[in-house]
Amino acid sequence: MDRMKREANDDQLRRIFAELRQGDQGPVPPFERVWATAAARTGRRPSRVRWAVATACAAAVVVVAVILLHRPSGSDFAAATQLVAWRSPTAALLRVPGDDILRAVPSIGAALMRFETLQPAADTP
């Protein structure tokens, strides 16, 4: 029953669209004309290479503009130099005797402190 109803509805739609198609019998532009106009346009389109070059140039301009806009100014550079040169007033308090040992890299096989013995060497006559 459901299927019959569906088919009847489809038939109705087919009839409706057929009527629409009949009403659409307007003039169709001749194939030869449309094809010839398209053929005449073939050379006028910019090639992909040109597009690629144009895109690359535009990208380069954007990159240069961004670099120029974000380049540090003279006053920024002076401030950065001052910041690097700054030392804390209490930095001297952090220095303790013997901190050279802590800063230096010890070499393998060498003692940090040298001890000298008072005993004479065994082979001494």
Partner 1 sequence: MDTDALRDQLAACHEDAFAWAVHCCRRDRRDAEEVLQTVYLKILDGRARFDGRSALLTWLFAVIRRTAADHRRRRLLRDWWHVAPGEGEAVASSNPGPDRELHDSEQRDALSGALTRLPERQRQVLLLVFYHGCTVEQAAAVMGVGVGSARRHYARGKERMRALLEELGWTE
CB of 8 to partner 1, least distance (A): 11
Q: How far apart are the first and last CA of the chain?
A: 131
Residue 98, phi-psi category: left (phi > 0), alpha (psi -120 to 50), beta (remainder): left
CB of 28 to partner 1, least distance (A): 5
Structure tokens at 52: 């690629």
Q: Is 15 in the site for partner 1 (CB under 8 A)?
A: yes
Quote the CA–CA distance of 54 and 52 in Å, as a whole number: 5
CB of 45 to partner 1, least distance (A): 7
Burial class (CB in 10 A: 0-12, 13-18, 19+), 81: exposed
x/- map, 23-52, partner 1, by CB under 8 A:
xx-x-xx-xx-xx-xxx-xx--x-------
* Binding stretches for partner 1 (CB under 8 A): 9-10, 12-17, 19-21, 23-24, 26, 28-29, 31-32, 34-35, 37-39, 41-42, 45
